[in-house]
Structure 1
Amino acid sequence: MSENEIPGIRPYHAPAGGWGALRATARAIREQMDAPEAAVTLLRTNKPDGFDCPGCAWPDKKHTSTFQFCENGAKAVTWEATSKRVPPEFFAAHTVTSLLEWSDYDLENEGRLTHPLAYNAERDVFEAIEWDEAFARIGELLRGMDDPNGVEFYTSGRASNEAAFLYQLFAREYGTNNFPDCSNMCHEATSVGLPQSIGIGKGTVSLDDFDHCELLIALGHNPGTNHPRMMGTLHEVARRGVPIIVFNPLRERALERFADPQSPVEMATLGATEIASTYLQPKIGGDAAALKGVMKALLELDAAAGPDSTVLDRAFIAEHTEGFEALAADLRAASWQDIEAVSGLPEDALRQVAEAYARSNATIVTYGMGITQHSTGTQNVQQIANLLLLRGNFGKPGAGICPLRGHSNVQGDRTVGITEKPGPDLLRRIEDTFGFAPPAAHGHDAVAAMQAIVAGSSKALICLGGNLAVALPDPEACLPAMRKLDLAVHVATKLNRTHLLTGKHAFLLPCLGRTERDIQAGGPQAVTVEDSMSMVHASRGKLKPASGALRSEPAIVAGMAMATLPHSKVPWAELVADYDRIRDAIEAVFPDFVQYNQRIRIPGGFRLPLPPTQRVWNTPSGKAQFLRFDGLREDAATGGTILTLTTIRSHDQYNTTIYGLDDRYRGVFGRRDVLFMNREDLDALGLAEGDALRVETAFGKGAERRMDSVVAVAYPIARGSVATYYPEGNCLVPLDHFDRASGTPSYKSVPVRVARVDAAR
């Protein structure tokens, strides 16, 4: 990667996966768990009688191989099932002020929280508290709030269906639809954009479809780091000769070549499989323009083929869609010069993609947050839907759209009611089932919630997991605002920075992890989760809990609800005693969960209905919609000395959780203070690898934001584009820089200037 000697920067020539993945897995086990216990635990991961990995939402195979976890899954499991503990004595020895000086990695690496804790402002420490007292104090404070809409109920995507369902009942009976959640920060553009296009905000493919596709197009995602179990599927697709076309501003090793740790031949021979047959690097923010170019070329191919052309699926378009002529007119009017300028890709390359697409009878498009986390994120998603609709790639084997969700149950939480925009059917069924009338007014998403906290109109925050202050952009605004809250409650397994933003009253409520036994009055319990392909399955922890004082997420939610709502219509204690009763209630409110308890006992679970797979479109007109991208424009003003910055995850992290300081596939070891730049951009700006840089935003309005002393690293990234790590780079993302259609923060399209701080290496 680098010709100069920069500490911690060195080339990594091996493929993704392979022996490097096994060594990293062994290291994670060695640092966090006893080896025998770790081995047994990991072999239960993603098995029908085991627990669902707390990492990504990639689905489980129907057949079970030797192991069903990846390197980052092993890190997630061992990180949660660690033998390290954070008892009350730890907090007695460390003030909150002193802990705020620790790194995010060091905070979480201390281990599992063991007892409920309350903040003592006079001593600036968290102190142990009994559960009943904690619930009573939280309930009293919530009842004393002036307005229920001044309370924010945040949900992490690791919460189970059962916990999330109870949580939304609690908030709605309390009187608000304020449901900021992690989906708001990653795939809200999917949740908003796809219903307008195809009538549902979810992907339409199954794992089996990858066995039948003839072409796979991958846009804006890095599966080797963010959803590594997908690599097994991509490996299989590539090995049967299916073209895989990648659009990504950065060259990512896992999309170039991969060695499957479960392949004896590749492991023995140090071999690997080439993944991408074509690798295109658009400018950051140039995805919609690139898609527009592919569709324009497709229309030109269709016209050149004459009246009997099969390039477009005209029968499908006529029967199942609306808006084609308006889209076609817009595509014809677009100039190739503009498409090339905004996408950063040559016309010939986009024409070749169109030709490959025209030859395929079954195409899957996969995409990640490189598509959604832009100010045009919703439109980006809709252009993918447009491309698939042009050739009828819905409702047939081997075809469809595949958004790559992050957290293991972020999709399921939404399905069971975590939404700030409830529809009338949901509200009516809640009232019919539980006897109270939930509020109808739309609540806050994540950005709106933080804006309300900054403004002082929201005074309390309840977090079911997560690290909200660190996950959101603009820490300069968010962190001080959260310290002014009247109440902060965090249900968590480990300590993180958001917990230390205490406000007037703060509580840490330690919960069971996914790997641990959950025993209630009715006996051992299982929870359920929904993967990114709408499969719902059970998860059963088997480990002894990290502490006898831990409670499950459903039990903690019910405890807070009973203390806050003494006249509640919901039978909280009865529901928590046996989670089958929670699932019966979910079925009553959400008819798609028909026979929930029976079907969840079938190994592998069941799939929720996906109407587009039957070519049924739940849009107002009953047809899928072609939706235009309004013109060709760059997401940020670029040119000259202005570059576009994206934030990225390292290979040693999952969302805000930092497992370690290496990013080996990109050749970074033991550090995170880097700015990846194109070598030609470095030369044009008179910079060199190893230079200490200052990065400053270039919005051209108001005060600009700065990040100091990151190290320049030459990397194969598109010209005009730069990248730095999340969440460190969040200081460059204003809170009001987001997709207006979905509210998704634009973490991946920030205009910046870079300058040398000094020449030290």
Structure 2
Amino acid sequence: MHEQKIAFYAGPAGGWGALNSVKNALLHQNIALKGAKTLLSANQPDGFDCPGCAWPDRNHASTFEFCENGVKAVAAEATARRAGPELFERYTVQELAAHSDYWLEDQGRLTHPMVYDATSDKYQPIAWDEAFVIIARHLNALPDPNQAIFYTSGRASNEAAFLYQLFVRQYGTNNFPDCSNMCHEPSGTAMREQIGVGKGTVELADFEKADAIFIFGQNPGTNHPRMLGELRAAHKRGARIVSFNPLRERGLERFADPQDKLEMATLGSTPISTHYFQLRIGGDLAAVTGMVKHVLEQEAAAHTSGAPGVLDHAFIAEHTMGLEALAASVQDASWAELEAMSGLTEAQMRAAADVYLGAPSVIACWGMGITQHAHSVATIQMITNLLLLRGHIGRPGAGPCPVRGHSNVQGDRTMGIWEKPSATLLDRLGDVYGFEPPRAHGVDAVEAIALMRDGKGKVFFALGGNFAAATPDTVATWQALQRCDLTVHVTTKLNRSHVVHGRQALILPCLGRTEIDLQNGRAQGVTVEDSMSMVHISMGINPPASEHLLSEPAIIARLAHATLGARSQVDWLALMGDYSLIRDEIEKVFPDFARFNQRVAVPGGFRLRNTASERLWATATGKATFQAHALPRNTPLQRARERSPGQRVFTLQSTRSHDQYNTTVYGMDDRYRGVFGQRRVLFIHAEDIRELGMRDGDWVNIRTVWNDGVERRADGFKLVAYDTPRGNLAAYYPETNPLVPLTAVAERAGTPTSKSIPVVLERAATAHDVAA
């Protein structure tokens, strides 16, 4: 681990720094030789799929289709470290809880199923059969199945997710909070209403054909490093890349491809963004509205002068409705309002729009910098409005591209992991499996916390993930989990959720994606769906970390068998023994998976049908719809300033460090932002530091300004002067999750607004205050 320091990083993203980070990750996990062999098998037809992000592989049969963060994910899973019964004998849960999130996961792979013993405050080994009996007893004792909550991580395979949703619906509830609720739920909400699908419409090949790529609220250098290869190639062939981000991010500026020998040998790099607009946090809706306003003004000017228009009138007439309402709404937004809300000048918004107008084919990408805001659905629909104006959906090199996080977060939703299932899905499940699925909507992630907090959620079962660390309003969330009668976590490594537990608790260790999964003596493969609807198979190559591990499909099948018994017609144990049989079941329910086993056997797999990419609109009207949205004039920030007269109220966004993936912290460095050996830092404009009467490096406490009388604070953060707009702050999560109120959610989507938290800063008087 590095010493604690702040040091400006002058290099590009990728390059020798990435290779050095790969070496350190492998050495830290004591798997240098094994890890190198494992990585050489990544993404090959007989190898495993990277368990990291959902960005697709350029060539699925390539040996080297992995990135720095993919290596960290693989190294963490293939580690030589073990967290066996001896670890739990050494520490009480209270003692484990005193350690950092980094320390907990760094103990290594879990080796045995464990049960919490309240008398000793320790986890103790338990037999698998006994563990399933405990869970089944709790579930079957509930008077109402809706008192059980079943969380899903984006790392679960299609096979595991399908079995999970089938089991839970046969049990009797749609309580399926999942990681989508906390990241891209607004994308699905916005796009289903507007174009009839909740997924992006582009394929990876479209990035080779796009003339302009717009990137909103995304940092691919840290979150999706393989995407930089596509952006680098696009820049080299002359495509315009326009980035909107409050923070200056190195991965959006320059990239050195570690696989380019010449670039590495000459210490060269390739620019990424041709245009970089540093708007205010949450200013994207106003910025895109300004772009739409400019486009419509250009159309009006062309009409007046008799010149050709700039809109795709044929596409609009045949495929869309609602343009008049959009035009009227945009006309009502003055340039002064747009400047004030976006933080950009009129000239900057017009310049961005001119890039759009000059590009025959446009892709728009976005990440959680868009989705985790109160008005995220409106922002995504305004981005889609922009694309629709010139027909940039359903043709090569163009379309919307929400960039998902975890490797199968999109596949989980496809498999039916959703608290608001369609009637079509429920009808099909009932027809195929001979039961009446529950029809009432279940709870999402935030609603699940409220259910447990109010004593109405009694059993919490998590298929992967780290719910206690990933969720907002940490104090309330932890109290909610502790009110449960039983908490159960299927996992590969120890994390915060295992030490924030119910009255009874189980830890169920599972196989990782890198490991050989033998069922009935035959190695099994699982499938995932990436961000662009490609479905492919993954086979593990490493021996399991312990002989006591079960696969996720096996855990679900055995739990379903123990819980449902004769109530279910499904032969759960047979499905557990041969995953091709699970895929046969999937194609019975989902027509798009016809001939699943045959199609997924082809290297690279197959792409699921996307009706919007065919210009078939599965909407209520049968057309794509322009959606009008007025500028928000009563935002949480505005209300917070009214409640705090005389105080400087900032907008805080949570973010990842470069040594982090979701809640998993691989190390204490954030190389591209120049932070080493520490995580409790607060990025802030240098002029804001001076205005507060402080200096770069001073320590502060952060307090949320909200309207419910609850004090939410996070203490002990070091000020770091950074290139970001005035009034905007950034800090890492989960350290800042205590600041996000449970009621701060995206309109119509329920996603926590972790990217726009109104806060005030207080000086931490002494080093003792910081340490405390």
Q: Which runs of no fewer than 5 residues in structure 1 stay unpaired?
A: 1-5
Mean Cα deviation higher: 72-81 or 571-580: 571-580
* Paired residues of 2:60 and 2:604 also in contact (CA < 8 A): no
Confirm or deny that 1:716 pairs with 2:723: yes
* Paired residues of 1:377 and 1:744 also in contact (CA < 8 A): no
For residue 435 of structure 1, report the CA deviation from its aligned partner.
1.2
Residues 300-349 of structure 1 deviation map (CA, whole Å, 9 limit, x = unaligned): 11112224433111111111111100000111111000000000000000
Distance in 2 (CA, whole Å) between partners of 1:619 and 1:522 is 47
Q: 1:570 maps to what in 2?
A: 570
Give the 3 Å change call, closer, same or farther, for CA 185–63 of structure 1 in structure 2.
Answer: closer
Q: 2:653 maps to what in 1?
A: 646
- The alignment partner of 1:340 has SS state of helix
Mean Cα deviation higher: 54-63 or 75-84: 54-63
- The alignment partner of 1:106 has SS state of helix
Mean Cα deviation higher: 69-78 or 495-504: 495-504
Q: 1:436 maps to what in 2?
A: 435
Q: 1:124 maps to what in 2?
A: 121
Q: 1:320 maps to what in 2?
A: 319
Q: 2:417 maps to what in 1?
A: 418
Q: 1:245 maps to what in 2?
A: 242
Q: 1:373 maps to what in 2?
A: 372
* Paired residues of 1:599 and 1:606 also in contact (CA < 8 A): yes
* Paired residues of 2:704 and 2:757 also in contact (CA < 8 A): yes
For residue 237 of structure 1, report the CA deviation from its aligned partner.
0.8
For residue 547 of structure 1, report the CA deviation from its aligned partner.
0.4
Instruction: Map 1:63-142 onto structure 2 (within 5 A).
Output: 64-142=61-139
Q: 2:539 maps to what in 1?
A: 540
Distance in 2 (CA, whole Å) between partners of 1:266 and 1:64 is 24
For residue 33 of structure 1, report the CA deviation from its aligned partner.
3.6
Instruction: Map 1:293-692 onto structure 2 (within 5 A).
Output: 293-306=290-303, 307-521=306-520, 523-567=522-566, 568-633=568-633, 635-638=635-638, 641-692=648-699
Distance in 2 (CA, whole Å) between partners of 1:48 and 1:190 is 32
Instruction: Map 1:207-286 onto structure 2 (within 5 A).
Output: 207-286=204-283
Distance in 2 (CA, whole Å) between partners of 1:308 and 1:619 is 34
Mean Cα deviation higher: 666-675 or 136-145: 136-145
Q: 1:733 aligns with which of 731, 740, 761?
A: 740
For residue 65 of structure 1, report the CA deviation from its aligned partner.
4.6
Q: CA RMSD of the aligned region, Å? A: 1.3
* Paired residues of 2:292 and 2:386 also in contact (CA < 8 A): yes
Paired residue type of 1:74: V
Residues 381-439 of structure 1 deviation map (CA, whole Å, 9 limit, x = unaligned): 11111110011001110000110100000000000110111111111111111111110
Give the 3 Å change call, closer, same or farther, for CA 700–462 of structure 1 in structure 2.
Answer: closer
Paired residue type of 1:596: F
- The alignment partner of 2:675 has SS state of coil
For residue 634 of structure 1, report the CA deviation from its aligned partner.
6.7
For residue 635 of structure 1, report the CA deviation from its aligned partner.
3.9
TM normalised by structure 1 equals 0.98
For residue 759 of structure 1, report the CA deviation from its aligned partner.
7.3
* Paired residues of 1:691 and 1:758 also in contact (CA < 8 A): no
Distance in 2 (CA, whole Å) between partners of 1:268 and 1:227 is 24
Q: 1:3 maps to what in 2?
A: none
- The alignment partner of 2:276 has SS state of strand
Paired residue type of 1:132: D
Distance in 1 (CA, whole Å) between partners of 2:371 and 2:624 is 20
* Paired residues of 2:61 and 2:603 also in contact (CA < 8 A): no
Mean Cα deviation higher: 731-740 or 174-183: 731-740
Distance in 2 (CA, whole Å) between partners of 1:276 and 1:318 is 34
Residues 66-92 of structure 1 deviation map (CA, whole Å, 9 limit, x = unaligned): 511100000000000101001112111
Q: 1:758 maps to what in 2?
A: 765
Distance in 2 (CA, whole Å) between partners of 1:220 and 1:756 is 30
Mean Cα deviation higher: 566-575 or 251-260: 566-575
Mean Cα deviation higher: 704-713 or 356-365: 704-713
For residue 757 of structure 1, report the CA deviation from its aligned partner.
1.9
- The alignment partner of 1:637 has SS state of helix
Q: 2:750 maps to what in 1?
A: 743
Paired residue type of 2:210: C
For residue 701 of structure 1, report the CA deviation from its aligned partner.
4.5
Paired residue type of 2:301: A
- The alignment partner of 2:442 has SS state of coil
Distance in 2 (CA, whole Å) between partners of 1:527 and 1:42 is 18
Distance in 2 (CA, whole Å) between partners of 1:286 and 1:430 is 43
Residues 539-592 of structure 1 deviation map (CA, whole Å, 9 limit, x = unaligned): 000100000111100000011111111112211011111111111111111111
Confirm or deny that 1:167 pairs with 2:174: no
* Paired residues of 1:338 and 1:632 also in contact (CA < 8 A): no
* Paired residues of 2:41 and 2:63 also in contact (CA < 8 A): no
Mean Cα deviation higher: 337-346 or 690-699: 690-699
Distance in 1 (CA, whole Å) between partners of 2:5 and 2:765 is 19
- The alignment partner of 2:5 has SS state of coil
**Aligned length, in residue pairs:** 756
Q: 2:188 maps to what in 1?
A: 191
- The alignment partner of 1:566 has SS state of helix
Q: 1:147 aligns with which of 144, 147, 172?
A: 144
TM normalised by structure 2 equals 0.96
Distance in 2 (CA, whole Å) between partners of 1:504 and 1:698 is 33
- The alignment partner of 1:309 has SS state of coil
* Paired residues of 1:694 and 1:755 also in contact (CA < 8 A): yes
Percent identical pairs in the alignment equals 55
Distance in 2 (CA, whole Å) between partners of 1:98 and 1:82 is 24
- The alignment partner of 2:215 has SS state of strand
Q: 1:158 maps to what in 2?
A: 155
For residue 699 of structure 1, report the CA deviation from its aligned partner.
2.6
* Paired residues of 1:33 and 1:81 also in contact (CA < 8 A): no
Give the 3 Å change call, closer, same or farther, for CA 644–77 of structure 1 in structure 2.
Answer: same
Q: 2:644 maps to what in 1?
A: none
* Paired residues of 2:464 and 2:491 also in contact (CA < 8 A): yes
- The alignment partner of 1:46 has SS state of coil
Distance in 2 (CA, whole Å) between partners of 1:44 and 1:144 is 46
Residues 635-685 of structure 1 deviation map (CA, whole Å, 9 limit, x = unaligned): 432567111110000000000000000001000000011110011222222
Paired residue type of 1:624: A
- The alignment partner of 2:676 has SS state of coil
* Paired residues of 1:739 and 1:745 also in contact (CA < 8 A): yes
Q: Which runs of no fewer than 5 residues in structure 2 stay unpaired?
A: 642-646
- The alignment partner of 1:758 has SS state of coil
Distance in 2 (CA, whole Å) between partners of 1:285 and 1:660 is 29
Residues 491-538 of structure 1 deviation map (CA, whole Å, 9 limit, x = unaligned): 110011111122221111110000000111261110000000000000
Distance in 1 (CA, whole Å) between partners of 2:734 and 2:326 is 38
Distance in 2 (CA, whole Å) between partners of 1:730 and 1:382 is 27
Q: 1:26 maps to what in 2?
A: 23
Distance in 1 (CA, whole Å) between partners of 2:103 and 2:637 is 38
For residue 233 of structure 1, report the CA deviation from its aligned partner.
0.8
Distance in 1 (CA, whole Å) between partners of 2:505 and 2:706 is 36
